Structure formats: C-alpha cells, structure tokens
Amino acid sequence: MSQGEDLIKRAPPDQLQPWFARATALPPGRAAIIGGGIAGASTAHALRRRGWQTTIIDRRKELAQEASGNPTGVLMPRLTAAPNLDGRFYAAAWRFVLRTLVDIGMQLDAGGVLQLATDAAEAARQNMVAADAALPPAMLRQMDAAAASDIAGCALPFGALHFPQGGAIDPRAYCAALAQGSDVLFGVDVARLRHDGRWQVIDAAGEVRTEVDIVVLANALGAASLPQTAWLPLAARRGALTLAPPTPASAALRAVLAYGGYMTPARGGVHSIGATFDWISAHELNAPPVVRGDDHARNLADLAHVLPGLMAGVEPRALAGRAALRCTTADHMPVVGPVPDEGAYRSDFAELRHGHPWARYPGARYVPGLYVLTGLGARGLVSAPLAAEILAAHVTGESWPVENDLTTALHPGRFLVRELKRGI
C-alpha cells in the first residue's frame, strides 16, 4: 500500500474525501436525459418522483433500442461469497429493484430463478453466499437437486440457490413503465452540450434541441464521445441472445436457470438463452452489432455443458436472436454521479501521488449541472433503478440511499483519482 492510499484509508469513515465532495444541491427544474435505455428511463423515474420535469432524448426512434432492447432479460441478484463493495452494491440493488417493480406495477413470471451449483467450486461458493445471509430467507433459499427439480419442472442434477422473486422481464415494457410521464425527443443524435447559465443540447446538425437546468448522460458508450466525459474509461462488450423453440425436454421448464449463462422458460413459444460476452475491435463500435455465425452454437454449447439433454437436437443455424453492446468498466461498477471538471481535478489533486494528508485538499469541482449514469455492464436491468436513485440524491443533495463507501465506489471521479495516485 502506498503512503497516499494509507492516508486515504485513515479518513474518518463518515467524512467524504475531498475528491468525492458533494456537488451543489439543486432545487427541482428541467432535466434533459440523454439515452432512452434502462439507465435513462430509471433516471427519469427517480427525478420525476422528486418534482423534476424530464425529457428523454435518444438517437433512435423509440425507447430501449440498444442494449436494453432484448426481447427478454433476467432479473436476479448477483451475490458474492465475500461481503465486498461489488456484492454489497448488487445486494442493495436487488432489494431496490424489487420495490421499483411494485411501484411501476410490473410483475415477473412466477417460478423465480435457480442459480445452479454446476460444480464443486460453485457449490462451495453457494454455501458461503447462503451462510453470509446478505438476503433474508424469503429472498434466497438453498436447495438440493430434488427440490430444485420440483421448482424447475424438469429434472436437474444439481442443487441450487433459488431466488423466488427473480425471473424474466420484457425490458422494453420495463423501460416504458419507468419513462412514463417524461417528455421524449427521438431521432436526436446529441453531438454537443453547451453551458451558458443553462445547458443547451445540440444535435449533429448544430441545432439546439432543448435548453435545461441539468443534463444526465445515460447514453452508455456514447458518453465517451462527448468532450466533458471523453476521459471516462468505458469499454464495449458485445453480447448475443439466442431465441429457441422448446424441445419435449424443455417445454415444462417454469423457472429461469442460471449457470453462468441463462435460459428462460418458453414464453410465446421461445426460450431466451444467453448470452455471449465478447471483446470487440474499435471499428466494430461504429457498426450496428449483428448476430454472428457461431453465437447460437456457443450459447447452446454453454447450456449443453451443464444440461446436455435440455435442447438436444436443436440446430443452431435455424435460430433467431439479437446482438447488442454492453458498456463496461474495468472495476465492474457502474459510473454514477456529478461529472468532475477534469482540468480542475488534475490540478487540485495533482499531489495525490505524494500522499499529503487528505484534509489539505480543496473540495472537488464539477461541471455545473452535468451528471452521468453509465457502465451498467451485464446487470443493468437490476442495477439501474438503485443507480438512478443515487444519482437523484447527488442532484438534490438528499442523503444517499446506500453507504458513503458504495456511493464513492460508483463516483465518476474515481478513475481520475486512480490515475493521479499513480502519477499518470
């Protein structure tokens, strides 16, 4: 541990380090939210509940046309064996998304999610997760293969963790429910943002499309194309989902199965089986993602590796599917909060690598009225509502709904602070 990290660690637990100081609290006004996926829709929901007038702006013609536009998504918690930041955030996000679904009147298909203990290592991890009690027994049950088979409706050779409240959701309907009451501007590719007391949102033709008090960048990888946030280290990971008709062995399935990948019960005559997770090259970033030759074969092979009989005989080349890009970060945490003024951070905190006492630094300076919610990775349908609630608390100055250390683990300034500590 460097001297700097040691000093940072010894900051009083309830006091925020200066580089994560709170942004100026704002009264309700007009907000433009760039991006109409689950990040943007959740942000609109959180701000509207606090009296803000919200406009969702998207380059596509409807909500949820990119990563949030799959025909099916799975909602389940991500629990870690050790109570680290990652595990605590996703456990809190899980509790919060369940409350959000009640608020917006959405129900998941019954049956829940069975996370299968597919090998000895996963069984040992599940024992630790169950013993850690991050979730109450009504939300998490550990069971043997016979009990898991009863719930699944088909024979399973593995024990499992059962999440009774989890299940499959229609992501487009979910986004639409969250966006209800917001104005929308579709077909607008936001190219620039200009601040002159208020924010002007400017399209690719140079036309000012709206003027607002605050802007929230909820546009996934697109945030890195705007100058104010170009320094965010966001990365694209391509994913493809396979849609397959049921076989005699799979037709009775009534719970979502998770095994690294996932398979949903057949709905409208199709199972959703997913999802691939691939690095992509820079030139692919500009082309719409498409399903590739071996995507379905890989999704079926991952399933067959644990449950060989379920989709036996299905010909991958005959299947349909959908591909999209996930927006990820190296630390696997979303990016949520006020946008740092990059130049001010680099000068105010330039000495971080020397480990001066943290209390000697000035408070962080932000781009006024500019916020970001991105980097939702592979779990955005679960984490977006809590991330949006945290973002709304950054805007209004309310208490954060999670502990300070979780909020700062999501803070956009963390990437600059890490660079400054390394002397980059």
324 binds ligand FAD (CB under 6 A): yes
**CB < 8 Å & 24+ apart, contacts of 126-134:** 126/159, 126/160, 126/161, 128/81, 128/82, 129/79, 129/80, 129/81, 129/161, 130/161, 132/79, 132/81, 132/83, 134/79, 134/83, 134/87, 134/88, 134/91
Question: CB 168 → ligand FAD: shortest distance, Å?
Answer: 8
Determine the 3-state secondary structure of 405 from DSSP.
helix
Which x/- pattern, by CB under 6 A, does the window 110-129 give for ligand FAD?
--------------------
Given candidates 45, 48, 59, 271, which one binds ligand FAD under the rule CB under 6 A?
59
**Residue nearer to ligand FAD on the CB measure, 189 or 211:** 189
**Residue nearer to ligand FAD on the CB measure, 74 or 336:** 74
Give the tokens for residue 229: 């946030």
Given candidates 113, 376, 395, 409, which one binds ligand FAD under the rule CB under 6 A?
376
Which x/- pattern, by CB under 6 A, does the window 143-182 give for ligand FAD?
----------------------------------------
Q: What are the Cα distances from residue 201, in Å, to 57, 207, 368?
A: 9, 8, 15
71 binds ligand FAD (CB under 6 A): no
Torsion of CA 26, 29, 31, 37, to 10 degrees: 90
58 binds ligand FAD (CB under 6 A): yes
275 binds ligand FAD (CB under 6 A): yes
**Tokens 């945030």 appear where?**
223
Give the tokens for residue 167: 């299940």
Span from 100-108, 144-152, 302-310, 373-381 in contact with ligand FAD (CB under 6 A): 373-381
Task: Quote the distance between the C-alpha of residue 105 and its chain's center.
Answer: 21
73 binds ligand FAD (CB under 6 A): yes
Residues 175-234 that bind ligand FAD (CB under 6 A): 188-190, 218-220, 222
State the CB neighbour count (10 A cutoff) for residue 241: 24
Specify whether the CB–CB gap between 58 and 186 falls below 8 A.
yes
Instruction: Give the residues lining the site for ligand FAD (CB under 6 A).
Output: 34-40, 57-60, 65-68, 70, 73-74, 188-190, 218-220, 222, 239-241, 274-275, 324, 326-327, 374, 376-382
